[in-house]
Every structure is written in structure tokens, then in C-alpha cells.
């Protein structure tokens, strides 16, 4: 127990990194996933195909592999660099790219399944008053679709929170990697440390679940 | 029927678990003499030391030394089974008797001597720095202070630097990847300026891409590579030390070093003194 | 995938194109197509600039030895870890899923706690804990054991929820009819509820197995000699071709998972047609479709 108390600043710092990874990747994934969903229901076959390929490739690839590719490939081959003088900043953003690229594929599929819950009449009504495809999507379909999939989006956010641990693969010192390092430093305190970190994740994910459950009831489209 | 299949799998697992548990108590010398067979733990992803080739054979310094020792113990090359030993499982492998000995860039430490015993060392090295061939700005440990460095997770080498330069340096200047092989592309493409770990490991990787990298050659720690054996196998330790002694004297050691480390062989001029106990 | 049938519905979002729209669509197709090609070209050019298309880096994959000696052993390890973990996770899921439905509070509550806790903890942390906690207890924990242990607990907990949802999806009348015939509790579960629930759960189970297979790649972080380890460590140690090698490995993962995904779709279709089960295909709590369960 002492180890947990002694190392509390380190643990909190690790979780702060986990939170930052989650929030930033979550926002990017939401935006990018929505664009992908729009592409997948668009009238242009080329966009539909591109988005379909993207989704199928990304979500069938292990996240660990994606993160490793981002960490070792983006910088060395694509010259993606976020900071010249701070490697931790660089690795943070490289893993953020990986996490959001992966999660976006799932966001896309969730939103697309939400689009299917919107009654046909809504789109027909929108078209009959002369809205274009993008207007129909933006003003009529997506607002209803997203509200229908609030709960699954919450599940995705929880999954993303846990998935940020995979950034350990390229040495981002988030919670899981810190935990392992603390295991090394305090070999006799493995169990309290594990319980401490596990509690941290419960604290992070439990409110998200409750919040999204509440939101989904509150925002449900009454039909 | 499905349930039956499950049970079958579980039963198979159970037998495979028990299969690992049996271990002989006798010396490696007796085993080599009676069975004419040895199982030897090596690395399989460490160029220059223990590397699995696409044709299924193994090459590297550890492999060559292992073959020499086996020959001296009376085991023909066909009687050797190489088995992958990863850094974390080397002691358990020996303790459980899954392998008869381990040669896997295995540093002799007091901590490890509580669980197993060591013959050797057959090579002494130290933490060194690998840089791009055209980089003259890094001359030793201290010049890493304002450089970007790559290390492997779980390795003690990056930890030593982090302890020396502090947590701020660790966060900004150190990246820790899965193994040193992953550091090479980062160094090649100037994402980092240096890789730092045992000179021997660096030499093995650098030899793969001739002309691109150079070793600084100012080691700042001492690592003695030994042969890991069962804790109480004094007879085995003595026999292997004798074999190593012979290898040092008949010129084979020099040949093995040069063959496996290429141009970096010059950093290892003489064989180390054996530490018999 | 339930959403796969949606392409037909999605067309509701736009009218059948008239001549002007068709022209505009063609122009847009051309524009977007060109943009996508440009992106692809830029990536290709960057790879070219860094010499990643060099034949030397790719030729090893044309040689049989690279596959039989370096890659396939990794694939075998990935598949064996996945297979063992899948069996254990299914057992774990069945036990705790049914346990959560028990009438006895002392079974129901602990089962619920176990399931919720292990679903909340990241898999990688479970794997680390297995390694360090195991050796603390004097056990010898190989990378294989640690990976399988983590996969079993995590996926077993998710499967427990699927099992629970599947059993709850069987109409009440089925159990009641069983009791009316004089069957005992475990007979009702074994003879009536489970067989029907399994049919309904099958697609969700297969989807979860895809997740499990993907998650074996976490073994790479603890140096388990899996497929990703072969691609990101063993092959590049020979040929210094990390990026090409990772791409080849990714293709293998994608092929396997796509095949499993099609299997899930096929099972779902079949179970929807099948008259053998009265239960509707089960979807775990909070999910809009199997896409979500795939995200673990």
C-alpha cells in the first residue's frame, strides 16, 4: 500500500496522460468517423468504396500493429514529426494518430447503423423540400442518427480509454507502462499497485458509462 | 460432441504443462556423455549473437560458442537442439530444466547467481553508443545529455541513462521501443541521434547495414557474458570453463568474434579471464 | 453485420439521379477519385524516396523459407494462443454468464462483480499483472501463459455478458413450459435455454473471437513469439525491412479476421432463418450492432 501512496504523483501523472490520449483521440475519431460514415452513405461509389476499404482494413488490423506502424513508420517513412526537441510529445501524437485512425473505423460503423434507425420518411421529407444530400445528412439525418447511437458511442469511448494502454508499445508512458515500470521498482508491491491502477480505470470508465447512459435516455428521439 | 472437443483441448494442455515440469538433477556433463544430446537456450532475433535464419539454421557468437562447448562435452552438432530463450525467461528455463544451458547475451550478475550458476565469461563488453556514420558530435556518455536516444523497453541500459540525466531528460530525449531492432530505422531516419546498450548488441545490428553506423567505442559499464547452468552443477561449470579456456587458446575465440561481429570485432581484443568458482 | 444490409436503405438519402445530377456526380467522382489517387501517389512517392520499395526488402517474402521458418511459426503461436484462450474464455463466459442469472444472491453478486471488474481493466494490464503477480507467487509464467490468462479473463467477461443476453433473449414461455413439464432448474438451462441461446449468440461470439484473435498481438509487448513478433522483430532482424514486414503481417491479420467476420455474418443470417431457436440474435448490452463488440 505504501508503494501506491509514495508513487501517487507518478500514478496520477500516468493517468493524466491516459486521459489526454483518450480525449484527444476520441474527438479526432468522432470527427473522422462521422466523415467516413458520410462517405459510406454518399451517392458517389468512389467515396463509398474508399471508406469501406478504410474501415475494413483498420478494424481488422490489431491495434498493436497500427500503433507500432505509426510509431516506427510514420516518422521514418512519411516524415511526420510533431516536435523536434521532445520525443515524448512526438510519441504522444504518433500514438494519437494510431488510436484515432483505429477508433474512427468503429465510430463510422456505429454512426452508419444509427443512420439506419432514422425512418425513411425523414429523408424523403427533407428531399421533398429541396435539401441536397449534404444538407439532408447534416440537418436531418445525422442529428437523429447520432442521438440514436449515444450508448454505443459511449461503449466505444470506454473501449478507447482502455485501448490507450496499447500506446505502451512505442514507449508512451501512460498508465499500463507506468504500472509495469513500478512493478519493476517495487517487486513486493505488485498487488497493491495493480489494484491502484485497476481502480484508476474503473474511476475513468464508470462515469463515462453512466453519463452516456443518461445522455442516451435524455436525448432519445421520441417516436 | 463440442463439449468433448473442449475437454480434449484442456487435457492436451494439462499434459503439455506437466511435460515441462520434469527435470533431471544430474550434471550437464553426464547428460552430454550419456545421451549425446543437449538443449541450448539462445536468442533468435539478435543479429551477431543468436539469429534464426530463414533456412532454419542459427548463427551468431552465442551459437558458435555453444557448438564449441557441446563438441568439447562430446555432443555432435546433430545432437544440439536450439531453443529460443527470451530475456525474461532465461532463469526459469534453466531452473525447470527446459534447457541444459543458456547462451543468450546473458550477463553474469550476483542477483542471477542466487538462482542459477555461470561458467565463463566468454566476452566482456559494456554499454556503448551507436550513431550514424557521419555523426561526430557524440563522443561518449556525457554527450548524450542533449541528444535523442533510443533504447529497448525492459533493458537496463536506457534506465542507467535516465538515472544519470534525470526524469526531464528521460521524457524529452529518450524513447523506449520493443527491442533494439526497432531503434535502427529511427536512427537511420534521424528521429533519434543514438542507440545505447551493450556494445556487442549494437555491433550485431550495425553489421547488418554496413557503412551506415559506427560504434563510439567508449563503454561506460561492464557486462560479462556467461553460460547459464543449473545452480548446483559444479562439474558442469568446470567442464565448460575448461572448454572455454581451450577455445580462447586455440584461436577459435578470435575467429568466432571476427566472423560474427565483422568490423566491430576490433573492439574485443583479448578473451576475458575466466571466473571459476 | 446488421448494418451491411443498410446500403439499400441509405440510398433513400438521395434521389435516383437525373441527367444533371448524374453529370455532377460524374464530375465529383472524377474529382474525388483524382484526390484519392493523389494521396495514394504521395504515400507511394514517400515510400519510394525512403527506398522502401527496394526489391531487397520485399524479396524475402517471395522465398518459401522466410514463410516456413520465420513467419508461420509466429502465426502458429498466434493461433494457438487464440485457440486456447478462446476455449478458456468460452468456459469462463458460460460459467459467469449463467452464474449472473442465478437465483442465489451469493452466486449472482460475485459473478457480476468479477465480470464487471475484468471488463473494466485494460487487457495489457492483466497481462502484465499475470507476469509479475505470477512470479511473485512463485509460479513460472511464460509469455504464452500471461497472454492466455489476460485474454481469458477479459474476453471471458465480455462473453459472459453475451451469454447472459443470449439466455435472456429466449422467450420466457420456453422456460415456463419446461418447468410445467417437471424439469429441474439445471435441466431447463441445459436442455431448453442454452441450446436456443447458443444459436442466437453465435454471431456475437464469433465477433468476440475476432477481437480475441486481434488482441493476441498484445503479446508482442511482452515478447511472446507471435505473428506480430515475427513480423516486427524476427524478420527485420534478418533483412532490416521493418516497414515492409509489418505491412505483410498486417495483410495476414486482415485476411484472417475478414474470413472470421464473414463467418459471423453467415452465422447471423443462418440463425435468423433457422426455426430451431425462438431467441432473437443476441446483442450485448449497450451495443447497436456487432461493430461495437469488435471494438472491445
> What percent of chain C is predicted at pLDDT more than 90?
59
Per-residue b/e over B222-253, b at no fewer than 16 CB within 10 Å? ebbbbbbbbeebeebbebbbbbbeebbeeeeb
Which partners does chain A have (≥3 C-beta pairs < 8 Å)? B, C
* pLDDT at B210 (0 to 100): 86
Q: Which chains touch B (3 or more CB pairs under 8 A)?
A: A, C
CA distance C188 to chain A (A): 33
Chain C, residues 247-286, CB within 8 A of chain B, namely: none
| CB neighbours of residue B121 within 10 Å | 22
**C257-273: buried (b, 16+ CB within 10 Å) or exposed (e) per residue?**
beebbebbbebbeebee
Res C105 pLDDT > 60: yes
Percentage of the residues of chain B whose pLDDT score is greater than 90: 51
Q: Which of C60, C84, C240 minimises the CB distance to B54?
A: C60
Q: Is C261 on the interface with A (CB under 8 A)?
A: yes
Q: Rounded to whole angstroms, how far apart are CA atoms B224 and B243?
A: 17
Quote the CA–CA distance of C29 and C37 in Å, as a whole number: 12
Tell me how close the Cα of C182 comes to any Cα of chain A, in angstroms: 40
Specify the pLDDT at position C200.
Answer: 84
Asked if B235 is an interface residue toward chain A (Cβ–Cβ < 8 A), one would say no
Q: Which residue in B86, B119, B107, B74 sits closest to B235, CA to CA?
A: B119
Give the nearest chain B residue to C218 (CA atoms).
B178
Does B52 contact C70 at a Cβ distance shorter than 8 Å? yes
Q: Which residue has the higher pLDDT, A220 or B216?
A: B216
Q: What region does B121 belong to: left with phi over 0, alpha with psi -120 to 50, or beta?
A: beta
Statement: residue C199 has pLDDT above 70: yes
> How many angstroms separate the CA atoms of C92 and B126, rounded?
48
Residues A86-121: pLDDT tens digits?
999 999 999 999 999 999 999 999 999 999 888 888
- pLDDT of residue C136 exceeding 70: yes
Q: Among residues 192-221 of chain B, which lie with CB inside 8 Å of chain A?
A: 192
Q: Class of C61-294 per CATH?
A: mainly alpha
Strand B127-132 to B194-198 pairing: antiparallel
Q: Does pLDDT of C287 surpass 80?
A: no
Closest Cβ–Cβ partner in C66, C232, C240 for B54: C66
Closest CA to B103 of B134, B143, B58: B58
* Band of residue C273 on the pLDDT scale cut at 50, 70, 90: confident
Residues A167-211 have pLDDT tens digits of: 999 999 999 999 998 988 888 889 999 999 999 999 999 899 899
Specify the CATH number for the domain of residue A108: 1.10.3720.10
C-beta atoms of B177 and A87 within 8 A: no
Locate the chain B residue with the closest alpha carbon to A174: B171
Place of cell 537442439: B81
Q: In terms of CATH, what superfamily is B127-215?
A: Periplasmic binding protein-like II (3.40.190.10)
Domain encompassing residue A128: 2-219
Cα angle value C150/C153/C154 (rounded, 5°): 80
Count CB neighbours of C24 within 10 A: 13
pLDDT of B264 reads: 85
Side-chain-side CA neighbours of residue B148 (13 Å): 21
A152 vs C122, C216, C287: nearest CB: C287
The answer to whether B183 and B150 are in contact (CB under 8 A) is yes
* Buried/exposed code over B186-212 (b: 16+ C-beta within 10 A; e: otherwise): bbbbebbbbbbbbbbbbbbbbbbeeee
Interface residue C188 vs chain B (CB under 8 A):
no
> Rounded distance, CA C263 to CA B274, Å?
61
pLDDT reading at C293 higher than 50: no
Classified as helix, coil or strand, C38 is helix
Amino acid C283: pLDDT: 52
Number of domains in chain A: 1
pLDDT given for residue C286 in this prediction: 38
Question: Beta-carbon neighbour count of residue A213 at 10 Å?
Answer: 14
User: In this model, does residue B6 exceed pLDDT 50?
Assistant: no
Contact B185 A169 (CB under 8 A): no
pLDDT at B266 over 70: yes
Tell me what pLDDT residue C5 has: 38
The pTM of the full predicted model, rounded to 2 decimals, is: 0.87
pLDDT at residue B244, as a whole number: 93
Residues 31-90 of C with CB under 8 A from A: 32-33, 36, 43, 46-47, 50, 52
- Cell readout for B256 is 568466432
Closest approach of A131 to chain B, Cα-based (Å):
50
Strand partners, B228: B102, B118
pLDDT band at B18 (very low <50, low <70, confident <90, very high): very low
Q: Which residue of B has its CA nearest to A87?
A: B172
> DSSP of C191-215, one letter per residue?
IIIHHHHHHHHHHHHHHHHHHHHHH
Assign C30 a pLDDT band (cuts: 50, 70, 90): very high
Residue B88 confidence (pLDDT) = 67
Which class would CATH give B26-125+223-267?
A: alpha beta
Amino acid at each position: 500500500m505504501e508503494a501506491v501512496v509514495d508513487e501517487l504523483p507518478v500514478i496520477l501523472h500516468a493517468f493524466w496522460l491516459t486521459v489526454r490520449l483518450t480525449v484527444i483521440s476520441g474527438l479526432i475519431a468522432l470527427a473522422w468517423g462521422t466523415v467516413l460514415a458520410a462517405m459510406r452513405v454518399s451517392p458517389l461509389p468512389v467515396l463509398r468504396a474508399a471508406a469501406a476499404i478504410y474501415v475494413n482494413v483498420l478494424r481488422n488490423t490489431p491495434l498493436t500493429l497500427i500503433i507500432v506502424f505509426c510509431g516506427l513508420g510514420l516518422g521514418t517513412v512519411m516524415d511526420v514529426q510533431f516536435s523536434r526537441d521532445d520525443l515524448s510529445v512526438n510519441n504522444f501524437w504518433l500514438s494519437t494518430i494510431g488510436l484515432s485512425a483505429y477508433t474512427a473505423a468503429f465510430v463510422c460503423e456505429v454512426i452508419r447503423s444509427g443512420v439506419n434507425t432514422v425512418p425513411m420518411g425523414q429523408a424523403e421529407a427533407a428531399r421533398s423540400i429541396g435539401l441536397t444530400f449534404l444538407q439532408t445528412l447534416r440537418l436531418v439525418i445525422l442529428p437523429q442518427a447520432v442521438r440514436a447511437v449515444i450508448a454505443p458511442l459511449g461503449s466505444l469511448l470506454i473501449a478507447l480509454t482502455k485501448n490507450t494502454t496499447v500506446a505502451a508499445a512505442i514507449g508512451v508512458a501512460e498508465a499500463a507502462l507506468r504500472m509495469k515500470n513500478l512493478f519493476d521498482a517495487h517487486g513486493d508491491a505488485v498487488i497493491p499497485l495493480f489494484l491502484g491502477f485497476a481502480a484508476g480505470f474503473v474511476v475513468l470508465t464508470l462515469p463515462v458509462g453512466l453519463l452516456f447512459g443518461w445522455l442516451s435516455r435524455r436525448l432519445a428521439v421520441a417516436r | 460432441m463440442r463439449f468433448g472437443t473442449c475437454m480434449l483441448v484442456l487435457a492436451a494442455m494439462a499434459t503439455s504443462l506437466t511435460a515441462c515440469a520434469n527435470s533431471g538433477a544430474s550434471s550437464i556433463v553426464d547428460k552430454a556423455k550419456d545421451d549425446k544430446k543437449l538443449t541450448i537456450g539462445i536468442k533468435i532475433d539478435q543479429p551477431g549473437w543468436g539469429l534464426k535464419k530463414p533456412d532454419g539454421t542459427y548463427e551468431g557468437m552465442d551459437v558458435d560458442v555453444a557448438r564449441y562447448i557441446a563438441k568439447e562435452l562430446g555432443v555432435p552438432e546433430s545432437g544440439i537442439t536450439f531453443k529460443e530463450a527470451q530475456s525474461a525467461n532465461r532463469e526459469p528455463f534453466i531452473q525447470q530444466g527446459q534447457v541444459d544451458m543458456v547462451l543468450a547475451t546473458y550477463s553474469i550478475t550476483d542477483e542471477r547467481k542466487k538462482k542459477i550458476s555461470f561458467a565463463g565469461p566468454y566476452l566482456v563488453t559494456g554499454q556503448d553508443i551507436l550513431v550514424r556514420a557521419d555523426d561526430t558530435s557524440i563522443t561518449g556518455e556525457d554527450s548524450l545529455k542533449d541528444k535523442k536516444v533510443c533504447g529497448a523497453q525492459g533493458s537496463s541500459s536506457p534506465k542507467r541513462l535516465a538515472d544519470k540525466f534525470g526524469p526531464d531528460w528521460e521524457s524529452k530525449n529518450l524513447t523506449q521501443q520493443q527491442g533494439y531492432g526497432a531503434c535502427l530505422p529511427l536512427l537511420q531516419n534521424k528521429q533519434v541521434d543514438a542507440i545505447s546498450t551493450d556494445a556487442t548488441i549494437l555491433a550485431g545490428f550495425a553489421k547488418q547495414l554496413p557503412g551506415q553506423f559506427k560504434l563510439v567505442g567508449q563503454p561506460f559499464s561492464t557486462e560479462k557474458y556467461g553460460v547459464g547452468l543449473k545452480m548446483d552443477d559444479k562439474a558442469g561449470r568446470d567442464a565448460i570453463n575448461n572448454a572455454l579456456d581451450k577455445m580462447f587458446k586455440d584461436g577459435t575465440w578470435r575467429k568466432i568474434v571476427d566472423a560474427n561481429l565483422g568490423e566491430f570485432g576490433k573492439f574485443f581484443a583479448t578473451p576475458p579471464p575466466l571466473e571459476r568458482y | 453485420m446488421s448494418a451491411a444490409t443498410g446500403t439499400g436503405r441509405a440510398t433513400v438519402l438521395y434521389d435516383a439521379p437525373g441527367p444533371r445530377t448524374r453529370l455532377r456526380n460524374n464530375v465529383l467522382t472524377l474529382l474525388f477519385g483524382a484526390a484519392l489517387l493523389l494521396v495514394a501517389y504521395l504515400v507511394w512517392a514517400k515510400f519510394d524516396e525512403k527506398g522502401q520499395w527496394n526489391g531487397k526488402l520485399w524479396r524475402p517474402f517471395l522465398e518459401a523459407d522466410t514463410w516456413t521458418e520465420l513467419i508461420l511459426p509466429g502465426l502458429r503461436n498466434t493461433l494457438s494462443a487464440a485457440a486456447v484462450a478462446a476455449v478458456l474464455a468460452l468456459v469462463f463466459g458460460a460459467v459467469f454468464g449463467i452464474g449472473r442469472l442465478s437465483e442465489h444472491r451469493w452466486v449472482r453478486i460475485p459473478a457480476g462483480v468479477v465480470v464487471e471488474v475484468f471488463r473494466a481493466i485494460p487487457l495489457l494490464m492483466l497481462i502484465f499483472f499475470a507476469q509479475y503477480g505470477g512470479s511473485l507467487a512463485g509460479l513460472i509464467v511464460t509469455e504464452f501463459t500471461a497472454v492466455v490468462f489476460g485474454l481469458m479473463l477479459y474476453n471471458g467477461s465480455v462473453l459472459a455478458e453475451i451469454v447472459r443476453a443470449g439466455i435472456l433473449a429466449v422467450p420466457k414461455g420456453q422456460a415456463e413450459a419446461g418447468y410445467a413439464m417437471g424439469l429441474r432448474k439445471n435441466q431447463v438451462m441445459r436442455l431448453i435455454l442454452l441450446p436456443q441461446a447458443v444459436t442466437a449468440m453465435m454471431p456475437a461470439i464469433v465477433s468476440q473471437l475476432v477481437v480475441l484473435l486481434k488482441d493476441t498481438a498484445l503479446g508482442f509487448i511482452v515478447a511472446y513469439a507471435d505473428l506480430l513478433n515475427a513480423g516486427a522483430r524476427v524478420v527485420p532482424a534478418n533483412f532490416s525491412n521493418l516497414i515492409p514486414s509489418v505491412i505483410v503481417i498486417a495483410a495476414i491479420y486482415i485476411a484472417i479476421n475478414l474470413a472470421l467476420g464473414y463467418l459471423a455474418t453467415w452465422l447471423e443470417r443462418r440463425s435468423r432463418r433457422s426455426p430451431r431457436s425462438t431467441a432473437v440474435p443476441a446483442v450485448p448490452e449497450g451495443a447497436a450492432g456487432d461493430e461495437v463488440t469488435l471494438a472491445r
